[in-house]
Structure 1
C-alpha cells in the first residue's frame, strides 16, 4: 500500500452482503489493475460484508484493502478512505452499484495522460434489469474551464477528482448522516480549476432496492438530513458569493436548486401524517433570500404548483411564510378566471 497508484476507489459499505460481490467483481480487469487500489470501508456491518471483502483482499493483495470501523455513516467512510488513498485520482463507488469493467480499463488508460482537477463520465441507471443511460453534453476529451465555461449539473456517479484538490482544500465530508454525496459534488467545485470529459459510461447505478436512501419513504423519514446539508451549503456559498465567477456560481447554484426543490417536494407533498416542518422551510427560505434574490425567484413556479396541489389535496396544512404569498396569488388567479 506504499506504492502510489493512479486511481483510488472508495467503497462505503454497510450490510451490503447481497450486492458487494457483484460490485467488487466489476473492478477485476485485465489491463491496468496494477494502477488501481480499492478501499472497502466496512462501516460496522452486521452481516458478512467484511468477510466477502477480505476474500478479494486475500486474492488481490496489491489492489483490495479492507478497513473495518465503527458505524459513522456514509461521510465517515469517505473521510477514512481519503486518509488511506495514494492514488492521483479518487472515485467513490457505492457497494450496491458497480462499474462497467471495460470502461474502467479505458478510464485508467486515459488518466495516464490527464492532469485536470475533475474528470466527468456518463453513467447508467439499472432498475429492474432495465437500463437507462445519462449522457453529459460534452465532446469526448473536451476540457472545461470551471471559471469561464458553464459546467452541467452532475452527480457523484459522474465524477472523479484529483486527490491533491481534496487534500489542499482539507475536504471533510459530514459524518453521522446520509445524503452527504451532495457535498461531494458541491464543495470541491468551489476550488477546482478545470474538468475533462470522457465519453464513457463507467458507473452503473442501481435503483429500486428497498431501503435505498432515495426511496420515497426513506426520503420522507430523513428529509431533515438533506435540510441540514443544504443549510450548510447555503452558508458556505453566501461566504463565497463575491469571490467566485458567474460560471462557477451557476454550477453550485444548480446543485443547491436540485436539493431545495427536493426538500419542498418532500415537505409539502409527502403523505405523512404530520404537517411539514414550517420552521425549517422558513429558515431555508430566508437563507436563500439573503444569498441572492434572483436565485430566490427561481423557485416561484415550482412553489406555485406545490401550493396549488396542497391547497386542494391536503386540507388543513399551514403554509410556510413564502408560500402564503403564493397562495394569495393563486386565489387571485382563480377569482379572475371565475369572472
Structure 2
C-alpha cells in the first residue's frame, strides 16, 4: 500500500512542473505521484508521460478534458491509492528534509488503530524578488509531538489560516462525505481545506517548513489584477463556504472548531469584500451588498459576528473613511504576509 498520494494539478505547466515533480521523487516507493494534465495545450502532457515511463509504479499521468483546478484535484482523489492525500500545485515544490520527516511520521501513523484524519505542517511564501520569506507556522496554536482534537487548539491570528499547502488528509476521510470540488472555478483550494474540517477528529502537527508556495508571477491566479478579473469566481467560492458553514453550524458542538471555521470564513469574506471595494464601481458595491445579504440569509449568527468585527465594520461600510482605512490595512497585509 502507498503511504501517500500526491496529486499535481497541471495546466500548461511545462515551464515549471519538472521542479515540482523532482522535489517529490525522493519519496520513493512509499509515494504515488499523480500528474493530472487538465487539458493542457503545451508540452505538459508529454512531460507527464515522460515521467510516468521513467518512474513506473511511482508516477502516473492522468489526462482529462479541461475542468479547472478543482476537477484536477477531484481526478487525483478518484485515482488515489495512498492512505493519505496531498495536493501540490505544479509551480510549487516541497522541502527535501521536511519531506522525509513527513513520510517517516506517516509510516507510523498508518499503524494507528484510530486513524489520523489530518496532518498539518508549515508552508513558506516563495515570493519572486522577496528577500524575506514569510513562514506560516502553527506552533503557538497547535499541540506538538502528539495527537490532538479540536478542543485543544488555540486562537488563530489573521495570517494563520490552515491552507491547502499546510494539510495532508486521510484519503478515505475525503471520500466518506462525497467530497467534490466545482469545475471551472478558481480559488477552490479554500473549499478543499474548509469542507472536511467538521469531519476531522484526529490531528497531528509537525513543525517543519514543508510546502514551498511560489508566488509573484503576473499571470498567477492570486495576482490581485487576476483576482479582480475573476471576481465572480471568488464570490462563488465565498458563497459555497458560507453554505458549508451554514450546513454544519448546528452540528459544531466544539467551540474551538466553530471559532476556527468562522475565522476562516471571515478571512475569505473580507478578501472578497476588499477586492470589490478596490473595483470601486456601483456594480461592485451592489455585489458586495449581495454577498453580505447572502451571509445574513444563510447564517444570521455568523453575519452578526462577522459584521461586528473590526474588518467587518470597514469592509461592509460604504463610508469613504472606512474605504481609505481598509485599503491602507490591505497594503500593510500585502507587504507583511507576502500575498498577491
TM over 0.5: yes
Mapped to 2, the partners of 1:218 and 1:89 lie a distance apart of 32
Cα deviation digits, residues 180-222 of structure 1 (max 9, x gap): 0000111000211121001111110101112101101101101
Identify the residue that residue 69 of structure 2 maps to in structure 1: 74
Q: Secondary structure at the match of 1:18?
A: coil
State which of 83, 90, 94 in structure 2 corresponds to 1:95. Answer: 90
Cα deviation digits, residues 151-184 of structure 1 (max 9, x gap): 7421111000001110111111111111000001
Identify the residue that residue 239 of structure 1 maps to in structure 2: 247
Q: Is the 8 A contact 1:150 1:248 kept in 2?
A: no
Deviating more after overlay: 212-221 vs 152-161:
152-161
Mapped to 2, the partners of 1:144 and 1:258 lie a distance apart of 25
Q: Is the 8 A contact 1:144 1:151 kept in 2?
A: no
Mapped to 1, the partners of 2:34 and 2:321 lie a distance apart of 46
State which of 306, 311, 314 in structure 2 corresponds to 1:295. Answer: 306
Q: Secondary structure at the match of 1:143?
A: coil
Q: Is the 8 A contact 1:28 1:101 kept in 2?
A: no
The answer on 1:204 being equivalent to 2:207 is: no
What is the Cα deviation at residue 287 of structure 1? 2.9
Identify the residue that residue 173 of structure 1 maps to in structure 2: 181
- Structure 1 residues 63 and 306 mapped into 2: Cα distance closer, same or farther (>3 Å)? farther
Q: Secondary structure at the match of 2:319?
A: helix
State which of 97, 102, 106 in structure 2 corresponds to 1:111. Answer: 106
Q: Is the 8 A contact 1:269 1:310 kept in 2?
A: no
The answer on 1:28 being equivalent to 2:40 is: no
Q: Is the 8 A contact 1:231 1:284 kept in 2?
A: yes
Identify the residue that residue 9 of structure 1 maps to in structure 2: 6
The answer on 1:225 being equivalent to 2:197 is: no
State which of 292, 303, 308 in structure 1 corresponds to 2:320. Answer: 308
Using the size of structure 1 for normalisation, the TM-score is: 0.84
After TM superposition, list the pairs within 5 Å mapping 1:52-67 onto structure 2.
Answer: 52-67=47-62
Mapped to 1, the partners of 2:207 and 2:233 lie a distance apart of 33
Identify the residue that residue 278 of structure 1 maps to in structure 2: 285
State which of 273, 292, 305 in structure 2 corresponds to 1:264. Answer: 273
Q: How many positions carry a matched residue from both structures?
A: 306
Unaligned stretches of 5+ residues in structure 1 = 314-339
Q: Secondary structure at the match of 1:140?
A: coil
Q: Secondary structure at the match of 2:205?
A: strand
What is the Cα deviation at residue 233 of structure 1? 1.8
Q: Is the 8 A contact 1:147 1:193 kept in 2?
A: no
Identify the residue that residue 149 of structure 1 maps to in structure 2: 153
Identify the residue that residue 122 of structure 2 maps to in structure 1: 122
Deviating more after overlay: 153-162 vs 243-252:
243-252
Mapped to 2, the partners of 1:301 and 1:279 lie a distance apart of 17
The answer on 1:249 being equivalent to 2:246 is: no
Q: Is the 8 A contact 1:13 1:42 kept in 2?
A: yes
Q: Secondary structure at the match of 2:134?
A: strand
Mapped to 1, the partners of 2:175 and 2:316 lie a distance apart of 43
What is the Cα deviation at residue 304 of structure 1? 7.2
Using the size of structure 2 for normalisation, the TM-score is: 0.84
Structure showing greater Rg: 1
What is the Cα deviation at residue 110 of structure 1? 0.6
- Structure 1 residues 312 and 147 mapped into 2: Cα distance closer, same or farther (>3 Å)? closer
